């Protein structure tokens, strides 16, 4: 019966990824792929920064059963921020450039196949992580990766080669910072290129920074990365893409429930691939099993 159909909202970022998602294209794929016997659906397009978050919160208030993010990790971040702690289920339809969360969760990168997952209605409870008043589901960080995220957000072109070019250009002159942290009550001080707080294992493009990360264990992986001499950087990059950076001596991983990081001034952080400016003191906490997500 039509009245028993579950409601699905697809929140689409039309400028996500290397190729923009056309309205006619995505709406045609949804219409052909989603099981209309089980679901009724609507489509909404984010029109400005923060609009996907507004749409997600509004959908929760209206009792939408499944809220699907069609875009990259930044779009997913906005959508999950509206869903956390509610009865709505999060679905990820990857249409970004890096698609780190989708790769980690084994969500197909083909639109039709990721939409088909909704038809099976298989979901699991996963962790999210708060950093001050912001929530993220994949990875956040300070230092060099935040600088790259800030420059990448301003780049005219998206995609791996743009990201790689920015990182390569910025690396030689970047000086490591000293980071003072309290990790589960223990004081830790490290000089590092960057520090990442990982719920999933990668930034995107299969660049794996936290090989043993689990998204439902109640823990984050605090990844402390030293700066590699420029001459050996290509070798280390190879280890990164082969998931062997942990054996290099340049990566330290500490599993934790809560981290307090103190900085000298307000600076940009990398939040699920997007640059966000936060205050000097950062409090990062794991929210165990706080989000329901459609999975394969």
pLDDT in tens, 176-232: 999 999 999 999 999 999 999 999 999 887 888 999 999 999 999 999 999 888 777
Can you give the CATH number for the domain in which 268 is found?
A: 2.60.200.40
Residue 295 included in any domain = no
129 within some domain: no
Closest CA to 202 of 250, 169, 166, 246: 246
Instruction: Please indicate, yes or no, whether the overall pTM of this predicted structure exceeds 0.85.
Output: yes
Residues 154 and 280 occupy one common structural domain: yes
In this structure, the chain runs to a length of: 296
Same domain, 93 and 214: no
CA angle 274, 275, 278 (to 5 degrees): 130
What's residue 19's pLDDT? 55
142 Cβ contact list (under 8 Å, min separation 6): 179, 194, 195, 261, 263, 267, 269, 270, 282
Measured distance CA(97)–CA(9) in Å, rounded: 22
What's the structural domain count of the chain? 2
Instruction: Please give the share of the chain, as a percent, with pLDDT higher than 90.
Output: 66
pLDDT digits (tens, 9 = 90+) for 24-80: 688 999 999 999 999 999 999 999 889 999 999 999 999 999 999 999 999 999 999
Distance CA 9, CA 62 (A): 11
Number of Cβ within 10 Å of residue 71's Cβ equals 27
Q: Is-contact 121 173, C-beta < 8 A? A: no
- Distance of alpha carbon 163 from alpha carbon 146, whole angstroms: 12
Residue 52, both tokens: 């996907």
- 117 and 156 co-located in one domain: no
Q: Are 65 and 163 found together in one domain?
A: no
Domain that holds residue 63: 2-121
Q: Where a domain ends, among 98, 121, 144?
A: 121
């Amino acid at each position: 019966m039509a009245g028993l159909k579950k409601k699905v909202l697809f929140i689409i970022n039309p400028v996500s990824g290397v190729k923009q998602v056309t309205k006619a294209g995505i709406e045609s794929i949804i219409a052909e792929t989603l099981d209309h016997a089980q679901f009724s659906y609507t489509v909404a397009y984010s029109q400005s920064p923060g609009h996907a978050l507004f749409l997600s919160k509004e959908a929760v208030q209206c009792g939408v059963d499944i809220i699907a993010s069609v875009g990259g990790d930044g779009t997913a971040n906005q959508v999950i921020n509206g869903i956390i702690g509610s009865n709505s289920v999060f679905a990820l339809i990857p249409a970004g450039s890096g698609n780190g969360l989708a790769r980690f969760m084994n969500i197909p990168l083909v639109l039709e196949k990721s939409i088909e997952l909704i038809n099976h209605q298989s979901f699991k409870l996963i962790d999210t992580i708060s950093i001050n008043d912001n929530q993220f589901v994949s990875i956040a960080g300070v230092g060099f990766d935040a600088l790259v995220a800030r420059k990448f957000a301003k780049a005219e072109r998206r995609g791996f080669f743009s990201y790689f070019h920015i990182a390569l250009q910025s690396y030689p002159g970047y000086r490591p910072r000293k980071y003072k942290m309290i990790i589960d009550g223990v004081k830790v001080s490290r000089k590092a290129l960057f520090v990442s707080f990982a719920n999933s294992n990668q930034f995107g493009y299969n660049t794996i920074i936290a090989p043993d990360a689990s998204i439902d264990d109640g823990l984050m992986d605090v990844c402390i990365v030293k700066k590699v001499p420029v001459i050996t950087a290509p070798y280390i990059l190879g280890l990164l893409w082969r998931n062997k950076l942990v054996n290099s001596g340049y990566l330290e991983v500490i599993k934790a429930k809560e981290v307090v990081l103190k900085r000298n001034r307000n600076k940009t952080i990398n939040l699920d691939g997007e640059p966000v400016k936060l205050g000097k003191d950062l409090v990062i906490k794991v929210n165990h099993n706080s989000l329901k997500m459609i999975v394969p």
